[in-house]
Amino acid sequence: MATSEEVHSFLQDFKIKLGVWGVVFRDDRGKNAQALLNLEITPVFREKILKELQAVDYYEGPKKENLYSGADMWVFGKTIKGQEVYIKITLGFSGAQVICISFHVAEHPMDYPLKN
């Protein structure tokens, strides 16, 4: 588990890079696309949610990742329209967009270690 300071640092880097380079959403996964339809979430609203993530939304990470440049994956959760949403993100490649790997309704209850 990451410390509060580590999560804050990651989110700061993520949001700066998001603001400069933008985000790539992995919408090719069925459950991600279906979640967007079910929750009536537009691409603009989804990006707004990423920009509003806070350390208290932290669920787990950093987790090793090999597909997207090896940048660690971090998992957060947000309640949207009464549904808990699982959000997995990474900084991605250097000099390129951040990547949102997962954005779907959580498959099980999530615990938030920094939320008190």
Q: Is the peptide bond before 62 cis (omega within 30 degrees of 0)?
A: yes
Q: What is the CA radius of gyration of the chain?
A: 13
- Boundaries of every domain in the chain: 4-105
pLDDT for residue 89 is more than 90: yes
- Report helix, strand and coil shares of the chain as percent, to nearest 5: 35, 30, 35
Is the domain spanning 4-105 CATH 3.30.2310.40? The answer is yes
Q: What is the pLDDT of residues 100-114, one digit of tens each?
A: 998 989 999 999 999
Do strands 23-25 and 98-105 pair parallel, antiparallel, or not at all (unpaired)?
parallel
**pTM for the structure as a whole:** 0.92
